[in-house]
Amino acid sequence: MVEPSVVSASPRPALVSDTTSYLPDELIAEHDIKLVSLYVALEGEQQAEIRLLGNLDGFYEHLRVSEEAITTSQPSVGDFLAVYEPLLDDGGEIVSVHISAGISGTFQTAVQAREHLISEHRGGERIHLFDSRTAAGGMGVVILAAANAIRAGASAEEAVAKAHEARSHLKVWFAVNTLEYLRRGGRIGAAGAWIGTTLKIKPILTFEDEVEPVERVRTRSRAIERLVSYAEQRHEGGADAWIVQHIQDPDSAAALVERCRPIFGGAPLFTSEMGPVVGAHAGPGLLGIGSTTKAALGLE
């Protein structure tokens, strides 16, 4: 008698990202997101960003008093292999979402790690890479779109498609106290034309593959008002899922959440503080808001 065959279900795709989304720890744990750390060089000593996330106050105090640019760097191929290999050994697929290739070599390093695993016949073809074309909270939104899709039973290809959808609806605005940190780190993008007025303005910027200028305002309060106005504009355009991030300004972040809660009709997906890699280039005082649609996030 022939025994009926037993078909075992394939494991759900694993989700990998890097440390620069600054998603709250509880969301990282909830979705079992594996992280590959970028690096920060402090006084000539390179440290993994993931080790600095527990003491942001200390890092930003160092940044404030430093007269030199704090440099950042992408993970190594070996860093990616250390995360990818155990996941591939489990027999499943991987969705790997990363900071914009326009400002970091992280995505290209992930490509190299994938190619190495393919050449070694270690299953690299099961890694599905996605360049978020954004950073920080914007990338966090894209990660959550993929995570929600995976939780709902999506394949790796379907999860990447949802990440694309969320990114296509995503817009992020952020206000910084000065362009000086962006200038020091060479991440100024098209906002470089404003350098001559750095001390006189509170710039509002956006991120579309790289930093782009939006508007120059004179005061911090005016910058916050413009962020609120932008939230209203985004909601009128159909955005109904949103996030708030800050650097060393939790009070302004909390105030922005309270101003925008009635606009969007509910709480943000998350509120968090940006960490060292992005923070070294943006500087203390950043306040930002991002939005997309619940449908793109799989929340409807």
Task: Specify burial of residue 290 (Cβ count, 10 A radius: 0-12, 13-18, 19+).
Answer: buried
Name the residue with higher pLDDT: 69 or 272.
272
Number of other residues whose CB lies within 10 A of the CB of residue 203: 22
Contacts of 210 (CB under 8 A, 6+ apart): 100, 102, 103, 187, 189, 190
**What is the C-alpha separation between 72 and 48, in angstroms, rounded?**
10
CB 81 within 8 A of CB 10: no
Q: What is the pLDDT of residues 1-45, one digit of tens each?
A: 334 434 446 789 999 999 999 999 999 999 999 999 999 998 778
Domains, in order of start, for the chain: 14-168 (3.40.50.10170), 169-292 (3.30.1180.10)
User: What pLDDT sits at residue 203?
Assistant: 85
State the pLDDT at residue 192.
52
Global confidence as pTM: 0.91
- Mean per-residue pLDDT, 46-73: 91
Q: What is the pLDDT of residue 2?
A: 38
How far apart are the C-alpha atoms of 60 and 170, rounded to whole Å? 28
> Per-residue pLDDT tens for 197-214?
555 678 898 888 778 888
Tokens 């160092």 found at = 62
Task: Please check the confidence at residue 63 and state whether its pLDDT lies above 50.
Answer: yes
Q: Of all residues in the chain, what percent carry a pLDDT higher than 90?
A: 75
Contacts of residue 38, defined as CB under 8 A and 6 or more positions apart, other chains included, come to 18, 19, 20, 48, 49, 72, 73, 74, 75, 99, 104, 106, 277
Q: What is the pLDDT of residue 1?
A: 39
> Rounded to whole angstroms, how far apart are CA atoms 290 and 275?
17
Average pLDDT over residues 224-230: 96
* Cβ–Cβ < 8 Å for 124, 232: no
115 vs 7: CA distance, rounded Å: 30
Token duo for residue 2 = 């022939």
Lowest pLDDT segment from 70-79, 86-95, 209-218, 264-273: 209-218
- pLDDT for the residue numbered 201: 74
